[in-house]
Amino acid sequence: MQALPGAGNIYQIVGSAIIFHLVKVLVILGNAVVISIVLVLLLVAPPDIPLYYSRSWGENQLASKWALILLPVLMNMAFAVCAWIMNKKFPEEMLLHRIVRFALVMNVVLTVSILMRLFFMIQF
C-alpha cells in the first residue's frame, strides 16, 4: 500500500503540536516548583544569598534575596518570546521549532536546578 501524499506532514505537525503542549505543561510545573522554592527562600533565607557564582568568593557573590524574583520572571519571559517567535514569525519551520523547544526545556531545567542548589546550600 502506498501512503497518502502529504500524510507525513500532517503527522509531523500533529506531533509538533503535542510536543509543544508538553513543553507548556513542563513550564507550568516548573513555574509551580520555582515559585514555591522562591517563596520558601524569601521567608526563611538570610537577607543576602550567594547568587553570583561567576564572581570571586566572598561578599562579591552575595545578592539580596529579592533578586530571586528575577529567575522566574526571566524564565517566563523567555517562554513567551520563544512561543511568539515560533507561532507568529516562523510557523512552518520545524527545525526551528525543535531547537526552540529544546532551549525552553533547558531553560526550565536550569532555572529549577539553580533554585534547588540555593535551597539546599542555605543553612536554615
Mean pLDDT by 10 residues, the chain (124 residues): 49 61 80 85 81 76 82 85 80 79 83 82 68
What distances in angstroms separate CA 6 from CA 2, 13, 19, one per listed residue?
A: 12, 11, 20
Pseudo-torsion of CA 48, 54, 58, 60, nearest 10°?
-60
Q: Which residues contact 124 (CB under 8 A, 6 or more apart)?
A: 44
> What contacts 24+ positions apart, CB below 8 Å, involve 16-21?
16/94, 16/97, 19/101, 20/86, 20/97, 20/101
| Residue 11: predicted pLDDT | 47
CA dist 58 and 41 (Å) reads 20
DSSP state at residue 107: H
Kindly give, in sequence order, each residue whose CB lies less than 8 Å from that of residue 19, ignoring residues fewer than 6 positions away. 101
Residue 40 CA: distances (Å) to CA of 34, 45, 114, 121: 10, 8, 15, 13
pTM, 2 dp: 0.67
Instruction: Give the pLDDT score at 4.
Output: 47
Q: Where are the alpha helices (DSSP H) in the chain?
A: 7-44, 70-84, 94-121
Write down the pLDDT at residue 89. Answer: 77
Q: Where are the domains of the chain?
A: 21-48+66-121
pLDDT given for residue 12 in this prediction: 55
